[in-house]
Structure 1
Amino acid sequence: MSLFHPVNLVCPKCEAPVVTMAVGSVNADRRPDLREDILSDRFQDIECEACQEGFRLQPQFNYLDVGRGQWIAAMQADRMRTHLQVEDEAALLFSESYGDNAPAAAQQVGKDLKMRVTFGWPAVREKLLLREHDLDDVVVEMMKLHILRSVPSVPMAEGIELRLVDINEDNDAFVFTWLETATEKAIEGLSVPRDLYAAIAANTTAWEPMRTRLENGAFVDMQKLYMGEGRPSD
């Protein structure tokens, strides 16, 4: 089931008290409307009754979609630098819920789930969008690395990330956007031919070392490549 709990907040504009329901877990099989809210960038949006200021709760919940084979630990953006610790916490929870330490029936469900860890709303939305279009998130992260090497200049800085935000079916292109992680504000966009995805997916030998690094842990995101040594390989 999808679980919510009350939280007491303060409006960032007028500092009035705001009481809302924060999500603890989302079951997209039973509540497909919540999945649609995430994809539409309106999930956990809040409006202050005193001044009508709109703001959004940062993600801190577990997302389950058995039908699409997804289990995601969606965390706040500011926890990204502790991604190794978050991965360990998520792995323990998954093990108890659907893995080796779960009841047999839950393990049957878990064997078809792909575990991921995300930080911030743009990241979890991207994972849902990729699954919607049956895309390999590792290949998409490698596409981003190719983009970094190919474009003349990029707005690369801490707190800025590159996300796939749409698939343009009319011209068969992937739409990427550079955005601010904290505010989700778009900075710059670019369109990439879908052929690039196919080319990278087919070139397994050249990209194998990078795939191995990206798949080393549930946080499958190119940003981890710039944050220290990372998790030791097996």
Structure 2
Amino acid sequence: MSLFHPVNLVCPRCEAPVTMMAVGSVNADRRPDLRDDILEDRFQDCECDSCGESFRLQPQFNYLDAGRGQWIAAMPASRLRDHLELEDEAKALFDSSYGASAPAAARSVGSSLAARLTFGWPAVREKLLVKQLGLDDVIVEMMKLHILRSVESVPMAEGIELRLVEADDEADGYVFAWLETGSEQYLEYMTIPAELYRAIQGNPEGWGAIRARLENGYFVDMQKLYMGEGRQAG
């Protein structure tokens, strides 16, 4: 089931106290409306009763969509540098819920789930969109790496990320955007031909080493390739 609990917040504009129901877990099989809210960038939005300021509670919940084969530990963007520690925590939770330490019925569900760890709303939304479009999220991350090598100017900085935001069926391509993680403000858009996805998909040998690094852990995101040595292959 999807679980919520009350949390006390402070309005970022007027500093008035605000109470809202924060999600602890989302079961998209039973509550598909919550999945829709994430995809529409409105999940966990809050409005201050005193000044009318709208703001969004950062993600910190577990997401299950057994029908689409997804399990996600969604964490706040501010925890990105703790990704190795949080991967371990996510794996322990998954193992006890759907993995080796879970009851047989739960293990049966878990056998078809791809477990992921994300940071910030744009990242968890992207994982849902990738699955909706029938894409391999590892190849999507490889596309981003190719984009970084190919474009003339890259607005890369801490707090700026590149995300797949929609498909462009008319152009047979995918729309990527540079955005600010904290504000979720979009800075630049670009449409990348779907041929790039197909070219990477058709060259598993050439991309094998990168795939192995991206798939090493629940945090399947190109950002981890720029954050130190990372997790050792095991």
Correspondence 1:9-158 to 2 at 5 A:
9-158=9-158
SS of corresponding position for 1:204: coil
Secondary structure in 1 matching 2:67: coil
Shift of 1:173: 1.1
Q: For residues 81 and 202 of structure 1, what CA distance do their matches in structure 2 show? A: 33
2:207 maps to amino acid: W
For residues 151-171 of structure 1, give each alpha carbon's deviation from its aligned partner in whole angstroms, at most 9, with x where no partner exists. Answer: 001100111000000001121
2:144 alignment partner AA:
K
Tell me the alpha carbon deviations over residues 96-132 of structure 1, each in whole angstroms, 9 at most, x when there is no partner. 0000100010000000000000000000000000000
Residues 160-211 of structure 1 deviation map (CA, whole Å, 9 limit, x = unaligned): 0000000011211100000001110111111100111000111111100000
Moved more, 22-31 or 167-176: 167-176
Aligned residue number for residue 218 of structure 1: 218
**Matches of 2:21 and 2:172 in 1, distance apart?**
39
Q: Distance in 1 between matches of 2:79 and 2:219?
A: 12
Partner Cα separation in structure 1 for residue 30 and residue 179 of structure 2: 31
Number of the residue aligned with 1:169: 169
What percent of counterpart residues are identical?
70
Who is 1:208 aligned against?
208
Q: Counterpart of 2:184?
A: 184
Q: Where do 5+ consecutive residues of structure 2 fail to align?
A: none
- In structure 1, list runs of 5 or more residues that go unmatched: none
Residues 170-179 or 36-45, more deviating: 170-179
Separation in 1 of the partners of 2:113 and 2:56? 28
Q: Write the distance in 2 (CA, Å) between the matches of 1:8 and 1:25.
A: 18
The 2-side partners of 1:102 and 1:200 are apart by 36
Q: Which amino acid aligns with 1:12?
A: P
- Which 4+ runs in 1 deviate beyond 2 A? none
The SS at the match of 2:182 is coil
Does structure 1 residue 233 correspond to structure 2 residue 228? no
